[in-house]
Structures are given as structure tokens and as C-alpha cells.
Amino acid sequence: MTAQLIDGNALSRQLRADVAARVTALKAKGITPGLAVILVGDDPASQVYVRNKVKACEDTGMHSVLERYGADMSEAHLLARIEALNNDPGIHGILVQMPLPKHLDPHKVIEAVSTAKDVDGYSVQSAGELMTGLPGFRSCTPYGCMKMLESIRYDLKGKNAVVIGRSNTVGKPMAMMLLQQNATVTICHSGTKDLKAMTLQADVIVAAVGKRNVLTADMVKPGAVVLDVGMNRDDEGRLCGDVDFERVKEVAGYITPVPGGVGPMTITMLMVNTLESAERTK
């Protein structure tokens, strides 16, 4: 058995077409959804991510503002820029690209963004809304994973789901979203004693630790759905995920590739969140 691919590029195109149509409808009412992206420093990966986010805005008809600052930017200056964007009625979403230079406090920066414009879904309030089942912005990567499961019409009710990774941006919100769909969820991490014993029971596995081959074929139950959130490089320098893709695909029922899987969905859900923020201003 060879797993069916869940094509993040194809699904993203479908969702972005819907976003573009809704943007056009909003523009007819005099509202152009706007996303502001702040990039501090010159991290190469961050520059690529930011460029892709700005391009996605342009492709869907949104307005984008990119503010670039040197790595020596003061925290006071950054917080002042965020406050100005909070008060800008033409901006519906604010994203501060992580990681930040070490002298800047990421928690303080994230909490400075207005909850109404927290389209990354990173704030304490957004996390609390997810935890308690209230409507709010969902963290984009796990939100994209849920859309991928939805695209294959996968019913999570009663299924065993394992999330490998406990980050605030992926692992924890991923677990909450799966739980909301009535899956039985286990979060595994560096302190988990027998990861293989956990994953072999899983109907759905989400690998999100940033470590190559953390999930191998002998750890996967035949027919399981495997979502690979990792972004790493192999020995030849090629992009790869956390999953041993070539071998796991011979066991799994569905699998996401890297690249072309979860990555495009993350940016797409950022567009969705920004659009929904703008729609609330109608």
C-alpha cells in the first residue's frame, strides 16, 4: 500500500480562490483587507517566509505592508510601531515575524498586538479562546492541518491522535483543535519514554518537532494519516520534514509531503484569518 498524498499546494489554491472572491466582495463595500508584517533583523529563513506572505496577499487582492528593521531595533521602537498599526483602520492583521533578535522579548511583543488583529493566533487571549472553545483566531499551522483533514473528509470522532511536539505555536493548539473534533489526543515530546508505543496506536499522527526522521515506518500503524509539519534539511541540503517520507508512505493511508504539504497551508490560513478580521469590520 502506498499512501495518498494530501497536496497542500492544490488545497491552498482552492482556498485562496475563495479568499480572493470574498476579498473582491469586501472591496465592493469599500473595505480592502490589510496585513502588516514586521521583520526585525536579517534571518534568511524569515525573509523567505515574509516574502511568501506578502506575495500571498497580492495574489488574493489584499493590501500588504512590510516593515523591515535592523537587528538593533529597540524594544520601545518596535512596541510603538505595533501600537501605531493597532490604531490603523486600514490594517486588519498584524504579524511580527519570529524569531526576534535576542534582546527583544517575544512574549511582550506578541501581547502588544491587538487581539482583534492577532491573525497569527499567538496571544494568550487567542490561546485561551481556543482552549475554551470560543471563536477567535486559530494558530495558522494547526488550522491548516485541520483543513487538510477536512479535505479528505476524515472523521476524527473517536480516533486516536498523537501530536509529536508541544510548542505554543503548533503542538498545543494542534492538540486542542483535534480534541474539539472529538479525537482522543496524546501529546508526545522529549520526555516521552516510548514514542513508538504511542504512535503505533494512532489513527492520526502530527509530527512537529523540527527533527529529521523523528517518525519512521516501524512507528506507524498501517493506514494512519500522517501530517508532517517539520522543516529540515537532509544530508544533500534538500528540504525535508520530520517524517521518513519514502518509507512511511508505504505504510500510511494518507501523508503530507515536504515541501508542498503543510507549509503552503500555513500562509493560506493567515490569509483566511486576515480576511475574517476585515469581514468583522463591515
Supply the mean pLDDT for the chain: 96
Nearest to 173 by CA among 133, 130, 137: 130
The sign of the torsion formed by the CA atoms of 218, 222, 228, 234 equals positive
Output DSSP code: residue 260: S
Please tell me which residue, 281 or 122, carries the higher pLDDT value: 122
Q: Which residues contact 60 (CB under 8 A, 6 or more apart)?
A: 16, 19, 20, 23, 271, 275
In the predicted structure, residue 282 carries a pLDDT above the cut 70: no
| Cβ 238 vs Cβ 217: under 8 Å | no
Question: In this predicted structure, what is the pLDDT of residue 30?
Answer: 95
Q: Is 120 a catalytic residue?
A: yes
Return d(Cα 272, Cα 19) in angstroms, integer: 7
pLDDT (tens digit, 9 = 90+) per residue, 181-229?
999 999 999 999 999 999 999 999 999 999 999 999 999 999 999 999 9
Q: Which member of 97, 203, 244, 249 is catalytic?
A: 97
* pLDDT value at residue 237: 87
Reported pTM: 0.95
DSSP secondary structure code for residue 100 in this structure: P
Q: Which of 117, 118, 120, 244 is catalytic?
A: 120
Active site residue 201: no
* Catalytic annotation present for 53: yes
Picking from 160, 221, 167, the residue whose alpha carbon sits closest to that of residue 186 is 160
Nearest to 4 by CA among 182, 153, 115: 153
Q: Give yes or no for residue 1 having a pLDDT over 80.
A: no
Candidates 7, 27, 47, 53; catalytic one: 53
Set out the domains of the chain in order of their start, with CATH numbers.
Answer: 30-115 (3.40.50.10860), 140-263 (3.40.50.720)
Report which of 90, 182, 180, 170 is spatially closest to residue 130, judged by C-alpha positions.
Answer: 180
Going by their DSSP bridges, the two strands 63-69 and 34-40 should be labelled as: parallel
Cell of 110: 506578541
